[in-house]
Amino acid sequence: MNNDDDAVWRLPATVQGRDVRLKTGGEEPPLSPNGKARLRRIVTKVPEVMVKLTGRSRGIAGHLLGQLDYITRNWRLPAETQDGERITDRARLLALHDDWLLANAAEGRGKTGPNTAQSVAITLSMPPGTPSDRVEAAVRHWARETFAGAHDWIMARHDDAGHPHVHVAVRAVGPDGRRLAPGPADLQRWRERFARELRRLGVEAEATPRLARGRMRRADRLPARKAEQRGVEPRAAEAIRHAADTDSGAPSPPLPQNWSRDLQARYDSVRRAYLNHAEALDRRDTADRRLARDIRRFVADMPVPLTRRQALAAALRNAQNGEPGRDAPSPSSLVQVQALDLPRASPSQRPHRSEPTPPRPRGRG
């Protein structure tokens, strides 16, 4: 796990409250070598790792088997367990499936039923061009470190989606009866661990939160993306479109809601933290001054902090005002609004998507 010093996008602990004020008088302790290295990776926009929860298998008949079939491509791809065993045939996969169900029932403290989680599916990936064998090696070490002695797991590498990624299925119940229920903090720790393993293998990788990269909005959830692909406007997108249409016709942009102001305040604190580091580095050697210059350039290129509603309203106002090269965005292009009004991310920062959601699990047929 990284030290607090590595969270270079945070203001010092001496700064508190919504109205951020920078510390005056005195000087913050100098950055550690690890902190400087992370700043360099951030400002040079090295590729970001992805660690994503992709689903849970339940107690429904065939559900866990469907997940195992999916990650092994119906047992056509080799898989590997936490013990280093290579699984290459259907019979062994079926035996592992039965072992997991029995172990979950025995260790689950009586919590059974069709909705009880049997396994948790996780996908770890990197952008195109990353060596697949190193991604696989990093995931293997990551899984051993993350679930050592606590949960059984099986992993399989996929090379058919344009970018290297590995699927990991983790047995939901540990020997102590605890169930795997990762939250946002766990996912961030897992991302940082995965990035660290990649760097250990010579692959440049980073795992920063969205705000640290100047991104305020999460990507749409898969059901919303699927609906848009079918030409159906999700309800949330429709509500945003109507609100943005109203905002675009107002004499002046309305004040953002409280949650939006808080988010923008956090975004502003990130920018200030970077600039604080740049100011401190300017007082040191040539290499540090070079890093300070790169930090300021990175901050200058960070996009304007707008919510999706604000960005869409701005795009509509631009279209209504007849700005050259501006067309009114369609409802189905909400995910592209940032590209209309905000600076584009570099190729290494653009999100890479994992494979489509696996098909509905089948029985043992």
Mean pLDDT, range 136-156, rounded to an integer: 97
What mean pLDDT value characterizes the chain?
80
Determine the pLDDT at residue 18. Answer: 45
Per-residue pLDDT band at 211 (split at 50, 70, 90):
confident
> Residue 28, exposed/middle/buried by CB under 10 A (0-12, 13-18, 19+)?
middle
Res 147 pLDDT > 70? yes
pLDDT in tens, 264-311: 788 888 999 999 999 999 999 999 999 999 999 999 998 777 777 777
Pairing assessment for the beta strands 79-81 and 86-87 based on DSSP bridges:
antiparallel
Q: Comparing 24 with 134, which gets the higher pLDDT?
A: 134
Amino acid 353: pLDDT: 43
The whole-number pLDDT of residue 75 equals 87
To the nearest 10°, report the CA torsion of 155, 161, 164, 166.
-10
**Confidence at residue 302, expressed as pLDDT on a 0 to 100 scale:** 87
User: What is residue 348's predicted lDDT score, i.e. its pLDDT?
Assistant: 37
| Separation of CA 294 from chain center | 25
Give dist(CA 122, CA 337) in Å, integer: 29
pLDDT the model gives residue 245:
78
Under CATH, which architecture does the 50-200 domain have?
2-Layer Sandwich (3.30)
Least confident residue range of 56-65, 233-242, 341-350: 341-350
The residue-averaged pLDDT of 44-52 equals 95
- For the chain, counts of helices (H) and of strands (E): 11, 6
pLDDT at position 323? 56
Beta bridge partners of 123: 52, 167
Q: Stretch 195-209: mean pLDDT, rounded?
A: 96
Look at 168-182, 196-210, 329-343 and tell me which has the smallest mean pLDDT: 329-343
pLDDT of residue 123: 97
Q: Which is more confident, 241 or 136?
A: 136
pTM confidence score: 0.75
**In the chain, where the domains are located:** 50-200
233 or 83: which leads in pLDDT: 83
Higher pLDDT, 213 or 164: 164
